[in-house]
Amino acid sequence: MSIAIFSGVLTLLFIFTLSACTSQKGSILILEDGHGTGFTMDLKEYSSTSKCELSLVRGDVVQVEIECKEGDIALIVSGKNGTAPYTGNDLKSGIFTVTVSETDEYIMRITGKNATGQVMIKNVGSAVE
pLDDT of residue 50: 94
Q: Helices marked H in the chain — which ranges?
A: 2-22
pLDDT range class, residue 24, cuts 50, 70, 90? low
Q: Please say if the pLDDT value at position 19 is more than 50.
A: no
Structural domains in the chain, sorted by start? 25-126 (2.60.120.680)
Report the distance separating Cα 119 and Cα 109, nearest Å: 11
pLDDT of residue 126: 84
pLDDT of residue 21: 45
Report the distance separating Cα 110 and Cα 119, nearest Å: 9
Q: Please say if the pLDDT value at position 15 is more than 80.
A: no
Q: Please say if the pLDDT value at position 127 is more than 90.
A: no
- Tens of pLDDT, residue by residue over 75-112, are 999 999 999 999 999 999 999 999 999 999 999 999 99
